[in-house]
Structure 1
Amino acid sequence: MIRSLLVLTGTLAGTLAALAMTPAPQATAVAVYDVRGGDSFTTAPASGRCTVGFSVQGGYVTTGKCGSPGATVIGYNGVAQGTMQPSTLPGGAGGWVKTNTSWRPRGLVNRHDGTFVAVRGSQAAPVGSAACMAGATSGWKCGTIQARNVTVNFPEGTLTGLIRASVCAAPGDLGAPLVANGQAQGVLVGSGGGGCPSYFYPVDKLLSVYGLTLVTE
């Protein structure tokens, strides 16, 4: 009987020792990517490339021309980014994307040279001010703000209150942010013949229409 107890005690001790040496399960890290103005995105069903405008709480503003409401949005790295929200503006000019938990909106604009511009606010720059666009295709391009409150007839409809800038755009740049001295100005909704000049929907109007809050750094 005593021998049996000793055997059982030894077995139990060995089991406890083995359990003590077993490492505790570790939580799996979930990758989170930054949302940055100027980065590319696409929508599914398949569409052409477009550009992130400015980060807002819960997502980012861009142009509604890049996808139908409810379309799945894919980020620059091929990771599902969120869902295109309904556009209430003429011709789907301005719109926004509600991002998922894999993405973190940042108040940054990609200069496409390894550096970023911090977005500090959305104060409207006067006509004649220097301004730069960050397009997924064109990269970082600078020029001047030529006019405000411009009306343009696009195939999708007539848009009013636009910003006209001397920078030139290319396919894939739609939705691109226009920045002046760290202040968000607007998102690209179209351009003239040959890509120049470019027209931007004012960011403050987008924020107001959709009840969004700009993310700043």
Structure 2
Amino acid sequence: MAAVTDPADAAAVRAAGAEPRPVAHSEDVLKAAVRALDAAGDLAPGTVAGWRTDPVGNTVVVRHRTADTAAARAFVRAAGVRAELVRYERAQQAPRPLLDVVGGNRYWTSQYGCSVGFTVNDGFVSAGHCGEVGERTTQPSGQFTGSSFPGDDMAHIRVAAGNALVPAVNRYRNNERVTVAGSQEAPVGASLCRSGGTTGWHCGTVISWDSSVDYGDQGQVTELLETNVCAEPGDSGGSAIAGQQAQGVTSGGSGDCTRGGRTWFQPVNEILQTYRVTLATGTGLTLHR
């Protein structure tokens, strides 16, 4: 079946072996209407969930979250789209991005960009200073169900259904991920690596498992893992891993990844015990995306 706006095209459609179907609007007209809605997207009210072309129905569909279409219709008018082009459709659920949740990847709160620490049975763990209980996250979509800072610097974020919890840490090289196999603590002097959304993958050694840090006006955090690996703002919450063993989540640091520095981590086993969650683990050295 082929849609035609000009009856004169019907014979050519039949000759090609298809059935012509007369429609009022061409594909170009429908696409132009969607582009106009895209351009006016900042004007879309919260009740509008999105829009698309509908070639079968020969319309543009505008999805709305409430029974009342008044706000959606006002948005269409403001975008300069002709009313006869549009059909309104009730959205049953709010859309959200679905993605792999991987240690070291960036996530966002209403105030900050932080990094995923390690995935657990219902979400992931990160740093407490990244958000308070109730704070919502995007990329992945979720919510802080536990958070402690200062004193400790730990948090648990439960993610929305549909996001894939991957038992791995982003190595930021050749699309490699280091699989998390457990959380056995590495001894002082052992090598470890850190992954974060700002500076990626950097390595150093364990200096102490009982280090206290004074963050000035933000308070003091005690019983931290201290290392000589570098980190920068935005790496907070990210993964520290020794081999395939999870060690901690990034709390804070001094210096940077140009000159070098020190970084402190909240031990991961304490986080798991505090929030009664189970570390997600797998097998194999690396996973490739």
State the Cα distance separating 1:142 from its structure 2 match: 0.7
* TM-score w.r.t. length of structure 1: 0.79
Structure having greater relative contact order (Cα 8 Å, sep ≥ 6):
1
Counterpart position of 1:68 = 132
Unpaired runs of 5+ residues, structure 2, are 1-95, 283-289
> Is the 2:97–2:141 contact (alpha carbons within 8 Å) kept by the matching residues of 1?
no
Aligned residues: 182
| In structure 2, C-alpha distance between the alignment counterparts of 1:50 and 1:89, rounded to whole Å | 15
Match of residue 222, structure 2, among 160, 165, 181? 160
> Offset of 1:194 from its aligned partner?
4.4
State the Cα distance separating 1:152 from its structure 2 match. 1.2
Q: Distance in 2 between matches of 1:71 and 1:87?
A: 10
Distance 1:91 1:160, change over 3 A: closer
Are residues 1:87 and 2:147 paired?
Answer: yes
Contact map agreement 1:148 1:163 (CA 8 A) in 2: yes
Provide Cα deviations, 1:81-114, integer angstroms capped at 9, x if missing partner.
Answer: 1112231453561101100012121211001121
| AA aligned opposite 2:117 | G
Deviation at 1:133, TM superposition (A): 0.3
Say which of 90, 96, 109 aligns to 2:169: 109
Q: 1:180-207 deviations in whole A, cap 9, x for unaligned?
A: 0100000001112447200000000000
Deviations 1:104-131 (A, max 9, x none): 2121100112100000000000011110
Identity rate of aligned residues, in percent? Answer: 37
Q: Give the distance between the partners of 2:267 and 2:113, measured in 1 at CA.
A: 22
| 1:160-191 deviation digits (Å, cap 9, x = unpaired) | 21111111111110001100010000000111
Residues in 1 aligned to 2:273 and 2:155: alpha-carbon distance in whole angstroms = 12
Aligned pair partner of 1:37 in 103, 113, 122: 103
- Contact kept? 1:134, 1:176, Cα under 8 Å: yes
1:191 aligns to what?
253
User: Pick from 98, 121, 138: which aligns with 2:182?
Assistant: 121
Taking the aligned partners of 1:154 and 1:145, their CA distance within structure 2 comes to 21
Answer whether contact 2:146 2:275 (CA < 8 A) is retained: no
Report whether the alignment pairs 1:214 with 2:279. yes
Aligned residue number for residue 26 of structure 1: none
Match of residue 266 from structure 2: 201
Aligned residue runs from structure 1 range 168-187, under 5 A: 168-187=230-249
Alignment gaps of 5+ in structure 1: 1-29
The structure 1 segments of at least 4 consecutive aligned residues displaced by more than 4 Å after TM superposition are: none
8 Å CA contact 2:237, 2:249 repeated in 1: yes
2:167 is paired with a residue of what secondary structure?
Answer: strand
Give the letter for the 2:238 counterpart. A
Pick one of 171, 175, 199 that aligns with 1:138: 199
**1:4-43 to 2 correspondences below 5 Å:** 32-43=98-109
RMSD of aligned Cα (Å)? 1.8
User: Which residue identity lines up with residue 152 of structure 1 in the other structure?
Assistant: V
**AA of the residue aligned to 1:55:** T
Whether contact under 8 Å (2:129, 2:148) holds in the other structure is no
Task: Give me the whole-angstrom Cα distance separating, in 2, the residues matched to 1:84 and 1:56.
Answer: 13
Shift of the 81–128 alpha-carbon distance from structure 1 to 2, 3 Å rule, reads: same
8 Å contact 1:81–1:102 — kept in the other structure? no
2:89 aligns with: none
TM-score of the superposed pair, with normalisation by structure 2: 0.60
